[in-house]
Structure 1
Amino acid sequence: MSSSSENENSEITKRMVAPYINGFSLRVYVFLLNYFPGFASLSFWNTGITALRKLNLDEVPTTLPLPLPKEYFGIEETKKVDGLEIFEENESAQQNYSSGFLCTSDFRKAYLTKKATPLQICEILIGKLDESLKRNPPLNAIIKFEREDIIKQATESTTRYANNCSLGPLDGVPIAVKDEVDVKGYETNVGTSFINRGVIAETDATVIDRLREKGAIIVGKTAMHEIGLGITGNNPSVCTSRNPYNVDHYAGGSSSGSASAVASGLCPITVGCDGGGSIRIPSAFCGIYGLKTSCGRFSSKGEIPLAPTVAVSGPMAATANDLALAYYVMAGKDEDDANTYYQPKPTLSGLFNTKDLSDLKIGIYTAWNKQVCNPAITLALNDFIEKLKLLGANIIEIDIPELEEARLAHLLTIGSEISTFAKQHKENFHKFNCESKSTISMFNFAKASDYVISQQLRTRFMRNLSNLFNKQVNLILTPSTAITAPKIYPNSLKYGEADLETLSNAMMFITFVNFSGLPAVSVPAGYDDNQLPIGLQFVAKWFDEATLLRIAKVSEEILGDKRKRPSNDYWFGDLIQE
């Protein structure tokens, strides 16, 4: 593999380029895909995936990117002064960098000082949820909520505070959940108009149950890109979420509603899922914090298995503290999910150590990072690098071999897995929107051998990354996306759109993390000339979310008061903030 210096004038990962299609033209395109197999075959070839067939690999396939125990040696496993109490013990270190965004500590203080009750807050929130869906255009963030259930939870939380027996910092805090994760009393439709229609979840997913145990108020389900097959949130089947910074732009996908809900101030925390950037992309587009956890860190019980070898759930939040808080509550082994047995105990070690980064080695792949499309992203990245140096961080130039091959292998893997899921509903295939149909039809031409080769490559790619983390760096820093939030074209709202170039630019720095099972965080890093948010991504070794959460707090302090609330928000901080 060539060194980064030799590659500076070439693409490290290739962009997929194809004509932009929407409206009636997209319907014609889908018709051709479905009724002329040769056309679908040509489309599959145009993805470049068939290049994997030329690889000569000897590795045993890795079908689930769980690291061997040696991969996480050195990660502190104790919870001593490391759990939820860490926020109380470090209260003096929690300078408010939220720039007006509400966080759990705001709710907590209001409840403890009797300035407001969870019931009062939730009654106001219900009104704001209604308002968000009735505006023109509707925000379409939290799209399903049950008033009586919210009031019931809020009443119980209010009673606990009145009796001085609250359940901790999450008690009474509103949290919404992506419609890919089971919430008791709700359908789990995964962004479709028909899957699980009329089927009400009788239990919560494990990660939701853990939030509820700490008193969080689950206020409803958020919108998403249909079956996770996209990065914009465009969903003609149900609704399209809007970006609170500019409602004429996408919120990102596929956890679009979760990002929009946090950025707009409806909730300080939401739950998303990430199979190809579906937490980090909308977090970057909406200017919030989003954590993609290690494979096997969160239980997948109660989550729809759209892409089980690359997708995980994770928290999205307005502030770094809340990201850490939600992570710690949701993480850990689950006896009902054997894949969680591999992990060390979750930790928040070093969370408030933000002034001295001399213990951190941060890898930068300069040639790769230069592939951004928006100059403002490059400026933000370079500014952060200089600020990290001033804090003592060691910035190291690195090379990551076979990034393009890993991109193709991830595309083959996630495309095959989601298409296989979709085929379980073949009797309702006609109800999928045009974008979903086109992708599903295209992956009919993937071979079983393509999937096996991809998993062989995963073995080698993980080994290379393991060597990189064990020998050179603690973190890797990239842009989250090569672009900021794309514009919504009105013609795309009825039938959807096919926009491979935007897809490619959004996922350029993202998918190697899903393919290898690594954890990563997207952090806000400023705004472009159109005042759309910019996100940067930090990647750590397996199960080292603690270092990611620490660097998220560092990033929050670097951005400081340059962070701005969006123009389209539902902030009600005047009710609870001092």
Structure 2
Amino acid sequence: MLRALAARLASGELDPVAHVRDVLERLAADPFNSVVALDAERALAEAADPRPGPLSGVAVGVKDLIDVAGLPTRCGSTVLADAPPATADAPVVARLRAAGAIVVAKLHTHEFAFGPTGDVAATGPARNPHDPTRITGGSSSGSAAAVAAGYLPFTLGTDTGASVRTPAALCGVVGLKPRFGALPTDGVFPLSETCDHVGLLTPDVDSAAFAWEVLSGEPAADPGSLRVGVLADDYWRPFDPVLDDAVAAAIAGLRAAGAEIVQLRTPMIDPLAATYAPIVGSEANATHAAWMAERPGDYQPATMARLAPWTLSAGEYIAAQRTRRRLVAELAQACAGVDALVLPTTRLRATPIGVAEVDGHDVRSALLALTLPFNLAGWPAVSVPGAVSDGGLPAGVQLVGVRLTEHQLLRVAATIAQS
């Protein structure tokens, strides 16, 4: 979709002003609460004389955690209700503009990105285009919803533990979390500096590959012969049998394409996953400590409840980071014989807005557990729509690059999308 749209704009078949105006009109009428702010005047002015490049004239959206010059970054919070307009684009936004893209909107985020549901924000919950009574997933809630609703072909998000891949899974789109450090996080409000990643969301795998080529400047690459690991430990099992079915269909597609499927055990996964909360919580608490003391009532109650407990000593924090490094090395050793992993993105599909527990399962944990290990490890990972055996809500399948680049991983993801 993205590649074809860019080609239509480049050829003159589609007028950039008409394209941007149409997108702005649909975003202005959005019923899913995916939009925080429109930059209509600037977007239309740029569309009248678009900058040349591979995305020339293409309308894109940016999560409201990322600076866009001329617009405030409010991070879904009343704490930043009076934030002044950003004076400069974040470098990742500057890359989009350099490629000719036109930023039309800032998009909904779970407050300060500290949650995987997308229903905690000063502007209210984002709503899933597949069922507006259900969550989008988070924290890149608006970025996923705007793509799923067909408004935008490409949005930027961030991912600290789930925040690109989980909303992609729940909204039925593609979400790529690159390897740690592959995209700059300057100009992005931090949640956890040692786990934060900038990522992207698109309607399909080819669009993600094109977007990644533009953002990274890296050439496309073929993965070659492929060994794919299937994780056999109880930790990796979803609660929803439809998600098991989606992964089984993905494995069948990979096998049919010539991949060797290998079962793996990861006995270190539970203690590794247990380091996530203290590391992310401590880093987030340090960022917010002054505001929490001065204006606690400006936070959403759920955010305060998550932030407040993480007042670890320096020794406890360092111990958690040392444990993380040791266990990530053990995970890498356990997966050393494969090129990629295939597993569900989440343990549950989209749940009702505001519901914390479903069938005895904690929703937040169910949306984080299968994605967060790869933020701790810094490995690239992508969520793609999987087969939905009951014809219901979207089911996400996650592919993780153990020895693959993002381009190679997306080539493998295309195999699943075609199966």
**TM-score exceeds 0.5:** yes
Select which of 39, 61, 67 maps to 1:146: 39
User: CA 1:370 to 1:109, structure 2 compared with 1: closer, same or farther past 3 Å?
Assistant: closer
1:19-59 CA-partner distances (Å, limit 9, x unpaired): xxxxxxxxxxxxxxxxxxxxxxxxxxxxxxxxxxxxxxxxx
Deviation at 1:282, TM superposition (A): 0.3
Distance in 2, Cα, partners of 1:209 & 1:238? 27
User: CA 1:380 to 1:498, structure 2 compared with 1: closer, same or farther past 3 Å?
Assistant: closer
Deviation at 1:106, TM superposition (A): 3.0
CA contact (8 A) 2:178 2:406 kept: yes
Distance in 1, Cα, partners of 2:83 & 2:246? 47
Partner of residue 148, structure 2: 263
Identity %: 29
Any idea what SS the aligned residue of 1:186 has?
A: coil
1:522-577 CA-partner distances (Å, limit 9, x unpaired): 1110336362100011111377212211112212212xxxxxxxxxxxxxxxxxxx
Partner of residue 454, structure 1: 320
CA contact (8 A) 2:24 2:40 kept: yes
CA contact (8 A) 1:374 1:483 kept: yes
Q: Supply the AA of the counterpart residue of 1:534.
A: A
Distance in 1, Cα, partners of 2:167 & 2:418? 21
Any idea what SS the aligned residue of 2:182 has?
A: coil
Any idea what SS the aligned residue of 1:526 has?
A: coil
Deviation at 1:236, TM superposition (A): 4.5
Distance in 1, Cα, partners of 2:116 & 2:353? 13
Any unmatched runs of 5+ in structure 2? none
Any idea what SS the aligned residue of 1:442 has?
A: coil
User: CA 1:212 to 1:236, structure 2 compared with 1: closer, same or farther past 3 Å?
Assistant: closer
Partner of residue 122, structure 1: 20
Deviation at 1:113, TM superposition (A): 4.4
Deviates more, 1:236-245 or 1:173-182: 236-245
Partner of residue 181, structure 1: 66
Select which of 387, 395, 398 maps to 1:537: 398
User: CA 1:542 to 1:518, structure 2 compared with 1: closer, same or farther past 3 Å?
Assistant: farther
Distance in 2, Cα, partners of 1:114 & 1:347? 26
Q: Does 1:511 align with 2:372?
A: yes
Partner of residue 156, structure 1: 49
Which of the pair has more CA radius of gyration?
1
Select which of 308, 321, 329 maps to 2:214: 329
Distance in 2, Cα, partners of 1:282 & 1:104? 19
Q: Supply the AA of the counterpart residue of 2:387.
A: G
Matches within 5 A, 1:227-242: 227-242=112-127
Q: Does 1:284 align with 2:169?
A: yes
CA contact (8 A) 1:517 1:542 kept: no
Q: Supply the AA of the counterpart residue of 1:190.
A: C
Q: Supply the AA of the counterpart residue of 2:220.
A: L
Partner of residue 421, structure 1: 287
CA contact (8 A) 1:232 1:251 kept: yes
Partner of residue 363, structure 2: 502
Distance in 2, Cα, partners of 1:452 & 1:369? 25
User: CA 1:546 to 1:461, structure 2 compared with 1: closer, same or farther past 3 Å?
Assistant: farther
Distance in 2, Cα, partners of 1:542 & 1:327? 18
Distance in 2, Cα, partners of 1:236 & 1:378? 32
Any unmatched runs of 5+ in structure 1? 1-102, 133-137, 161-165, 333-345, 559-578
Distance in 2, Cα, partners of 1:283 & 1:221? 18
Select which of 212, 225, 232 maps to 1:366: 232
Distance in 2, Cα, partners of 1:541 & 1:388? 16
Deviation at 1:459, TM superposition (A): 1.6
Deviation at 1:194, TM superposition (A): 2.7
Partner of residue 393, structure 1: 259
Any idea what SS the aligned residue of 1:313 has?
A: strand
CA contact (8 A) 1:288 1:318 kept: yes
Select which of 352, 363, 383 maps to 1:487: 352
Q: Supply the AA of the counterpart residue of 1:248.
A: T
CA contact (8 A) 1:119 1:154 kept: yes
Distance in 2, Cα, partners of 1:369 & 1:554? 26
The runs of at least 4 consecutive aligned structure 1 residues that moved more than 3 Å come to 112-115, 367-370, 497-500
Distance in 2, Cα, partners of 1:211 & 1:458? 34
Partner of residue 59, structure 1: none
Distance in 2, Cα, partners of 1:232 & 1:513? 19
Partner of residue 194, structure 2: 309
Distance in 2, Cα, partners of 1:557 & 1:200? 43
Deviation at 1:290, TM superposition (A): 0.6
Partner of residue 167, structure 1: 53
Partner of residue 438, structure 1: 305
Deviation at 1:197, TM superposition (A): 2.3
Q: Does 1:131 align with 2:131?
A: no
CA contact (8 A) 1:369 1:479 kept: no
Distance in 1, Cα, partners of 2:27 & 2:389? 29
C-alpha root-mean-square deviation of aligned residues, in Å? 2.0
Deviation at 1:498, TM superposition (A): 8.3
Q: Supply the AA of the counterpart residue of 2:166.
A: I
1:438-489 CA-partner distances (Å, limit 9, x unpaired): 1122223x333331121111221222233345x4000011100011011125
Q: Supply the AA of the counterpart residue of 2:303.
A: S
Distance in 2, Cα, partners of 1:528 & 1:424? 49
User: CA 1:187 to 1:382, structure 2 compared with 1: closer, same or farther past 3 Å?
Assistant: same
1:498-527 CA-partner distances (Å, limit 9, x unpaired): 898111111121111011111111111033
CA contact (8 A) 2:33 2:108 kept: yes
Q: Does 1:248 align with 2:133?
A: yes
Q: Does 1:473 align with 2:371?
A: no
Partner of residue 182, structure 2: 297
Partner of residue 39, structure 1: none
1:306-361 CA-partner distances (Å, limit 9, x unpaired): 211001101111111221222222236xxxxxxxxxxxxx34212xx7xxx6x100
Matches within 5 A, 1:514-529: 514-527=375-388, 529=390
Q: Supply the AA of the counterpart residue of 1:377.
A: L
Distance in 2, Cα, partners of 1:428 & 1:110? 50
Distance in 1, Cα, partners of 2:389 & 2:187? 38
